[in-house]
Amino acid sequence: MAIELVPLCSVHAQLKPPIEVGAGPSGTRLIIEVASARLKGERLAGEMVGTAGGDWVLVGPDGTGTLDVRVAFRTDDGAVVFVQYNGRADVSQGINLPLTVYVAPRFETCDERYLWLNRVQAIGKGTVHEDFSLDYEWYEAR
């Protein structure tokens, strides 16, 4: 039952400066909108569609960052794929860039060619850089 990580795609995104909702009922909320994002891989490649891509991050009083991301993509061969995930980051020393983040993407599509993607639980690791660009590697857990 050993788990195998099969490469799915790399992700390169440009984030916008956060909208600071601040300390509320579930911790400190930042809305980090995605300006652009590209998926690059042999099995999955595409570009963000629309403008409602973002990370509705929560920073807890205990120094844990919880990612809460929704982004839609159009693959290079024309399928619409919605990606949604939570994840964690250690911000116990503050939100200092570059920051390492860990995420667990799930996918939704109706395109026959990508139905396999609906059944994938992915895991990824990424870095948010000083210029608010973001790089990930995503893997399929198998």
Is the CB of 76 or the CB of 90 nearer to its own copies?
Answer: 90
For residue 132, is it left (φ>0), alpha (ψ between -120 and 50) or beta? left
Cα 98 to its chain centre, rounded Å, is 16
Binding mask 81-110 toward its own copies (x if CB under 8 A, else -) reads xx---xxxxx-x---------xxx-x-xxx
User: Applying CB under 8 A, does 62 fall inside the site for its own copies?
Assistant: yes
The nearest distance, CB 36 to its own copies, in angstroms, is 12
For residue 9, give the nearest of 63, 59, 97, 73 by alpha carbon.
73
The reply on whether position 28 binds its own copies by CB under 8 A is yes
Beta strands in the chain (DSSP E): 5-15, 19-24, 27-40, 46-48, 54-59, 64-75, 80-90, 99-103, 106-108, 122-128, 133-141
Between 7 and 26, how does the x/- string for binding to its own copies read (CB under 8 A)?
Answer: ---------x--xxxxxxxx
Neighbours of 36 (CB within 10 A): 13
Complex with its own copies: residue 62 or 130, whichever CB lies closer: 62
Closer CB to its own copies, 45 or 80, in the complex: 80
Q: What angle do CA 28, 34, 37 make, to 5 degrees?
A: 140
Judged by CB under 8 A, the residue of 38, 41, 66, 132 near its own copies is 66
CA distance 10 to 45: 9
Q: Is 39 in the site for its own copies (CB under 8 A)?
A: no
Cβ at position 97, least distance to its own copies in Å: 15
3 state DSSP class of 75 = strand
Q: How many C-beta neighbours within 10 Å does residue 59 have?
A: 18
Residues that bind its own copies (CB under 8 A): 1-3, 5, 16, 19-29, 31, 33-34, 49-54, 56, 58, 60-64, 66, 70, 72, 80-82, 86-90, 92, 102-104, 106, 108-111, 115, 118-121, 123-127, 135, 137, 139, 141-142
